[in-house]
Chain A
Amino acid sequence: MRRPDGELILFWTLPAVAAIWISAFFLFPGFVHPMSPTMSAEQVARFYQDETARIRYSMILFNWFGVGLIPIVILMAMQIRRMAHRTPILSYCLIACAGGPPTIFLIANMFWLLGSFRPDRAPELTQLLNDLAWLTFTVLVPYLIAQCLLLALAIFWDQQDQPVFKPWVAIFNVVVAVALAPAAFTALSHTGPLAWDGLLSFWVKNIAIAVWIIVMGVVLGQNIRAQRAQEQVAA
């Protein structure tokens, strides 16, 4: 029998960190009714003064667990290794993408925490930190888009009798990439669907990320389990 290699331990961290991400999302007072880019400097400063504690605690949680996505993306890179490709290029691509979203998110996270560190700072400066946080958070999509499209391509090229992922997973990833794309353009507008609190840049983008994590988590888990069962039979 195969020695347990710990991949399942990393995989089962996903539901735990996902639960923490969701709690932190609801704890942060600026997400459930997303803060508007049209708020004046004084309104933003008052928000940081009134909600200091919840901003700090939610962002500390995100700071702790935001990087929890990296092992999951690396597990996907390991699945790509099993595909019928001739080079390791696509698994390298996923590894190259893995650090991007958490790094960009951590930058946004620091700006939120800095804003709440001295909420009685000059309102213009709090507004600056808030803009840096929100815009960085909203445009963190480039590596997520790349990750989805590269995974779809990897699946498309995995031509073997029993492909690692089913073809619908490729289509699903392309759809998610399309849903994430408008958020890159958020700074074009202070109001409407593109604004950082708007339908496309906030709701569609964040729901797409959540759905991607859930769906890919499930198929990844099924794959890892099937792989283990196969190896036990073979052994």
Chain B
Amino acid sequence: MSTSTTALPTTGWNLRYHPKRELWFAWWVMVVFYNLYGVLFFFVTRVQPPPSPAWDTPTVARWFADHGHGIIAGFAIVFLVAGMCAPMNALLAYSMRRMSVSRVFAYSYLIIYSLAAVPGMLVMAMAMTVAAFRPDRDPEIIGWLYDFGFLSFSGTMGVFLIGSLVYMVAILHDKNDVFPKWFGYLGLCNALTEVVVAPAWIFQRGAFAWNGAIAWWINMVVFVLYTGVFIVLLRKMIEREDFGTGRLPDLPAKEASR
């Protein structure tokens, strides 16, 4: 253990030698990333909750003129930190390696979700940044960038659909009890949100439009719930981890091995 004779290791020791340092690092990156994501998308760029696809071109142009600085600054931070997705996806893939299923699941999930960030987040950030970069552009072009941004964000479906299903099958098939089975079914709910969002490519108003009750509100609730749940479950997994290969042990009665 630590070189000091005291029982509790110091923070410095933990950062360097803690047996679960890699797991806790990835977990904290994930927590910080989702918090940043919420702040940047809802409060800095204000692109969430999304404005309406039914707006006319002058309204869209005015929206960009009003939100321009927030959009550019907020997405600049997104460009700076988007790589935080990597440890997050690595931890999720690791949870599948801990299961009794083939490595195919972990590797498929890792690649699907690594690819997801480009059409699902960065393309939107680019389109919005380009629109805000020259607010004096032809409003028709700004309108196209507006559609491009919101539709690439909401309308990137398959990566999350297939990714959630891969995770679901792994969880339901797993014999090591890494996650409770109900979380597998929650993954199915998350996958279904990607199905019901498809009409956002077709409708410009109503519940199925990209800002609608179904395509946005219900989906956001399920996504936040799903994400919150896997953050907590991954934390429990790390606490129980004993680096064996078999079943994950139960937590000791009081103190988790943090």
Asked if B94 and A143 sit within 8 Å, CB to CB, the answer is no
Inter-chain CA distance A94–B93, complex, in Å, is: 13
Task: Say whether A36 faces chain B, with CB atoms less than 8 Å apart.
Answer: no
B206 to chain A: closest CB distance in Å? 30
B36 to chain A: closest CB distance in Å? 13
Asked if A92 and B126 sit within 8 Å, CB to CB, the answer is no
Enumerate the 6 nearest inter-chain pairs by beta-carbon distance, A residue then B residue, closest first: A146-B83, A92-B90, A142-B82, A184-B79, A96-B86, A184-B80
Count the A-B residue pairs with Cβ separation under 8 angstroms: how many? 132
B132 to chain A: closest CB distance in Å? 7
Residues of B within 8 Å of A87, CB to CB, are 22-23, 94
Residues of chain B whose beta carbon lies under 8 Å from any beta carbon of chain A: 16-17, 19-23, 25-26, 72-73, 75-87, 89-91, 93-94, 97, 110-111, 113-115, 117-118, 122-123, 125-127, 129-130, 132-134, 137-138, 141, 145, 243
Residues of B within 8 Å of A89, CB to CB, are 22-23, 25-26, 87, 90-91, 94
Residues of A within 8 Å of B122, CB to CB, are 104, 142
Task: Say whether A132 faces chain B, with CB atoms less than 8 Å apart.
Answer: yes
Q: Which of B72, B87, B138 is the one whose CB lies under 8 Å from A150?
A: B87
Asked if B23 and A99 sit within 8 Å, CB to CB, the answer is no
Asked if A150 and B243 sit within 8 Å, CB to CB, the answer is no
Q: Which of B125, B126, B130 is the one whose CB lies under 8 Å from A128?
A: B130
Identify 27 residue pairs between A and B in the complex whose beta-carbon atoms are under 8 Å apart, listed by A's number.
A37-B133, A86-B22, A86-B243, A87-B23, A89-B25, A90-B22, A93-B26, A97-B86, A99-B111, A99-B114, A100-B117, A107-B126, A124-B141, A136-B126, A139-B79, A139-B125, A139-B129, A142-B79, A142-B82, A143-B86, A146-B82, A146-B84, A157-B16, A159-B16, A159-B17, A184-B79, A187-B75
Residues of chain A whose beta carbon lies under 8 Å from any beta carbon of chain B: 37, 85-90, 92-97, 99-100, 103-104, 107, 124-125, 127-128, 131-132, 135-136, 139, 141-147, 149-150, 153, 156-157, 159, 181, 184-188
B19 to chain A: closest CB distance in Å? 6
Asked if B138 and A124 sit within 8 Å, CB to CB, the answer is yes
Given the known A-B contacts A135-B133, A153-B25, A187-B132, are A99 and B115 also in contact in the complex, defined by CB atoms under 8 Å?
A: yes
Inter-chain CA distance A225–B114, complex, in Å, is: 31
Asked if B110 and A96 sit within 8 Å, CB to CB, the answer is yes
Residues of A within 8 Å of B21, CB to CB, are 157
The residue of chain A having its C-beta at the shortest distance from the C-beta of B243 within the complex is: A86
Inter-chain CA distance A87–B94, complex, in Å, is: 8
Residues of A within 8 Å of B132, CB to CB, are 187
Max chain B Cβ within 10 angstroms of own Cβ: one of A93, A100, A156, A185: A93
B154 to chain A: closest CB distance in Å? 19
Given the known A-B contacts A86-B22, A86-B243, A100-B117, are A147 and B130 also in contact in the complex, defined by CB atoms under 8 Å?
A: no
Inter-chain CA distance A150–B129, complex, in Å, is: 27
A158 to chain B: closest CB distance in Å? 11
Q: Which of B83, B117, B141 is the one whose CB lies under 8 Å from A145?
A: B83
Inter-chain CA distance A87–B241, complex, in Å, is: 11
Asked if A187 and B22 sit within 8 Å, CB to CB, the answer is no
Inter-chain CA distance A107–B132, complex, in Å, is: 19
Residues of B within 8 Å of A94, CB to CB, are 86
Inter-chain CA distance A132–B73, complex, in Å, is: 17
